Amino acid sequence: MFSRLVAGVILAGVILASCAPDPRNTADAYKTTVLANQQAEDLAAARSARTIQDNQAAAEQAQTAAARVAGWGWFISCLTLAGCVLVIGLAIGSSWAAVGTGRALAKAAEIKAMTIQIKLDELTRTYPLLMVYLGAGRFSLGDPGKQSVLMLDTRQAGDRQAIRAAGAIQLAGAVAREARRSNQPEAVAVITSGVSHD
């Protein structure tokens, strides 16, 4: 009986030993648990890295947008300033041009009015010179035949000579014209002898 008992215990031990968990299954379970934990940690790290990258990208986009807005603001300010300078320049230039054009038209009308009364000299078939005092010691000497105007200043020695010569020519022309009209050549001699030449 003792042998039966020993055989029963051995049999029970074998049965119990065969019911014990397989160490391979335990190792596979441990391996699966470790892999699952590692995958969970990797996913958490990837999520964290993606969040950091997304935050950095959003910050960079915000900086880029702010820089663009600042750049456009600077560009618009410079464009506005340039436009103001352009408008002011155009206004000043056009007003200056309008005043100059008005003066030129007035001078042209004055010369045209003077030339209406001027007739060609019958002997030389030329127009006489037109000398007009402009003020501040300045004269304009116009030659309608050549369509030229010479500006002369009494403060310059060469111009003073030209003014005297033009004046003498005008005087001589006026005297000759009046003498011819009067048909008295002796009157011309009397008038010209009284003229002093400086």
**What pLDDT, on the 0 to 100 scale, is given for residue 85?**
93
Q: Which residue in this structure is represented by tokens 């648990």?
A: 33
142: exposed, middle or buried (Cβ count in 10 Å: 0-12, 13-18, 19+): buried
What per-residue confidence (pLDDT) applies to 51? 92
pLDDT at 119: 64
Residues of the chain with pLDDT under 70: 16-22, 113-129, 145, 170, 183-185, 187-198
Q: What is the pLDDT of residue 156?
A: 82
pTM of the model: 0.33
What's the confidence (pLDDT) of residue 80? 93
What's the pLDDT score for residue 154?
81
pLDDT of residue 89: 92
Give the separation between CA 55 and CA 166, rounded to whole angstroms: 91
Q: For residue 17, what pLDDT is reported? A: 67
